[in-house]
Structure formats: structure tokens, C-alpha cells
Amino acid sequence: MGRIDDTVEEIRRMETHSSSIVAIKAARALTELAERGYANLDDYERALEQNSGALRRANPSHASLYTTQREVVDSVVGQATELDEAERLTGAAVERVIDRVENGKDRAAASAAETFEDGEVLLTHDYSSTLLGAIEVATPETSLTVYVTEARPRFLGRKLARRLTRTEGVEVHLGVDGAAGFFLQNRPVDRVIVGMDCIVDGVLYNRIGTFPIAAVADKFDVPLHVVGSSAKVIEDGFVFENEFRPPSEVSLEPIDDVSIENPAYDATPADLVDTVITETGQFAPE
């Protein structure tokens, strides 16, 4: 298989957890088309649309994957008069979207880092590379205590906890998802801060388990902040589609007369989110 096919399979298997990294890999995979030796411009444009569509369909829940792929296609199809020009436009568009995603992610992390206060106690869920970057920027000058929930059934929170143990100035606590309410009620948590898969029309879509944490945080008046690149904030043109993971992630053995459901994401209403932090600043989700 070529790079595009390999990337499609990698996205489907969720081998890469960060949606920003998924978008970057998918964009870079499109440069393979210039190596295939298409006979004419029409064939190239048709192949670009087909392969970009395959990459988008590999995970229709990733807004940044959708927006970056659409930008590359729109920058090429109908914009060139010769095949070599279309290939150059593709390369330029790929580099442009990669630069924006990478810089947006880094700047969002820097923006979030500025909000941390020395001695602050945080609770987070799942694995956010942007949040991890923010903590790494803020510490060790700012000491933090971070409660991490596992993000079952794939336990991506454990990955974040392990990474945080290598970050000077961070005291790390790990608990099961169901312990979030206990932590918020019985520990001095100053705020919940999570990453985002995307925000569409003011609704936060993130790893399953985010919504109940947000609801409990609201109950105990603990603010919820969300951090991520502005490329993940979509106002129109994108319809979020949840992903349903294999039942084997929940139970290795089938259970008679039980239908195992394993949604990857949930939807947190805007009124439960206090602040969204991106590279462009801070704002309310609505």
C-alpha cells in the first residue's frame, strides 16, 4: 500500500490519538499523488478528490482533518490549467495547512500556559497533546497538581499521566473515570481543563466521559476550561459523526444477550464550558 492507504488505515485504527497530528499526517500523505505520474490534469484532480475523501471518511469525527483536507482540495481543483501546476499547488497547500495546525497547536499551548497559577490543582481527562504542551511550557517555574482520569476503555489518560511524571514541577494523581466526582467533591480542584476533538456550533465534542465530568464540575462550581487549536472550532460546513469502537475494547469476551456499546466521544453543552483557550485568545464557547 502507498502512504495514503497506510494513513487511512492508521486513522481508522486510531493509532494516533491527537487529532492535530492526524490532520498533519493526512495532509502530508496527499503529496504521494505527485509521484504517481498521472496522464493529465483531470485524472490528477479526480484522484485528489477521491483520496482526500477516503482520508476524511477514515474518521469523520475529526474536524481538523475535515477542514485541512477541504482546504487542500479547494486550493487545487479548478485552480490550475496544467498538471504540474496542480502538483505545485497541492504541495503549497499541504505545507500551508501543516504550518497552521502546528503553529496553532503550539500557540494555543502557550496561551493556556499563561493561565496557570503557581500551586494550582487541575483535573483533566483523556490525552491532549496541546494541554501537555501547555503544562510543559508553564513548569517548572509554576508548580501544578494534576488529577488525571484514565479515559476508559482505551486508557489514554494513563499515557498522559506517564508523560506528566517526566515533567518537573508537576505532582500527578491518576484515577478511574468514575472517581472524577469524588475528586471534584473531596479534593481542592481549582478547575477542570481538557483538550477538544472539536467545537461545532458551540457544542464541545471530546473523548467519552467528558460530559459527565463537566456536569459534576458544574454541580460543585468548578470551572471547565477547554484548550486547543482554533482549527478545531467550526461554525458551519461540518457535521460531527461519532465513532463507535469495537466491543472488544470494553469486554474481551462476548456476553450473552448483552449489546456492548462503545462510543468514542460525547457532546458537552456550551453552558457547561466556562472558557475556550486557543491561539487567538480566550472566549465563551457559544
| pLDDT interval class at 147 (50, 70, 90) | very high
123-134: pLDDT as tens digits: 999 999 999 999
Q: Give tens-digit pLDDT for 177-212.
A: 999 999 999 999 999 999 998 999 889 999 999 999
Nearest Cα to Cα of residue 160 among 178, 173, 144: 173
Report the candidate in 123, 191, 199 with the shortest Cα–Cα distance to residue 161: 123
Exposed, middle or buried: residue 29 (CB in 10 Å: 0-12, 13-18, 19+)? buried
Nearest CA among 196, 180, 189, 271 for reference residue 233: 196
Residue 207 main-chain phi, psi, to 5 deg: -50, 140
Look at residue 17 and tell me whether its pLDDT is greater than 70.
no
In this model, does residue 234 exceed pLDDT 90?
no
Catalytic (active site) residue 201: no
Which structural domains are found in the chain, ordered by start? Answer: 3-106 (1.20.120.420), 114-283 (3.40.50.10470)
Catalytic residue among 197, 218, 256, 271: 197
Q: For cell 467550526, what's the residue? A: 234
pLDDT score of 11:
86
